[in-house]
Amino acid sequence: MGDTKEQRILNYVQQHAKPGDPQSVMDAFDTYCSEERAMHVGAVKGTWPNCRRWPRNGNPELARLLPPGGRLLTMEMNPDYAAITRQMLSLAGLQDQVTILIGASQDLIPQLKTKYDVDTLDMVFLDHWKDRYLPDTRLLEECGLLRKGTVLLADNVIVPGAPDFLEYVRGSTKFECTHYSSYLEYRETVDGLEKALYKGPSSP
């Protein structure tokens, strides 16, 4: 894989985190990313109510908070990044609680029910290509993966922005939306997260 940014992050975390301690892994991750920016929500934005931190791929903090029997599925197109994520999760002691699905979201979403034994999703965190936010949200609906109470949490809806997604969820009676203003990771640029609570397919 060479000396990629992701490999450098992993090497740093392996050197500075305490094995089996998810918080230590996250702290080391945050420390490194404060110097070399990565696709990571960070310690500041990740402190909005009812949410801790949301790094790209297989969040140790979220996995630690799963209820008994809960599962965390994360999608990654790049097999090399998926391998790094597995090592990060193993370091945190959470490898048995997270399933990494390799492939494009538009290919994996239709397989969730049949191949991965998913009925409906409690929460969906959107932090991939911004032009996929809307089509993937519609695909989740079409595949019957959303239930009343499912939360969609979309990052970077201001910078770089996901205007078509915001227009759709804010204009639909199927969603109840709340915006959380914040800053772009490790910068002073205003950004935000959008929480879209799914109320059902035929909400008045």
What are the residue numbers of the active site?
A: 127, 130, 155-156, 185
End-to-end CA distance of the chain, in Å?
A: 51
Query: In the structure encoding, which two tokens stand for residue 158, read together?
Result: 């201001």
**109: Cβ contacts below 8 Å, ≥ 6 apart:** 136, 139, 140, 143, 145
Q: Do the bridges between strand 146-154 and strand 190-198 make them parallel or antiparallel, or are there none, so unpaired? A: antiparallel
Please state, in angstroms and rounded to a whole number, the distance separating the CA atoms of residues 5 and 2: 9
Query: In the structure encoding, which two tokens stand for residue 100, read together?
Result: 């990494």
Nearest Cα neighbor of 155 from 120, 130, 188, 189 is 130
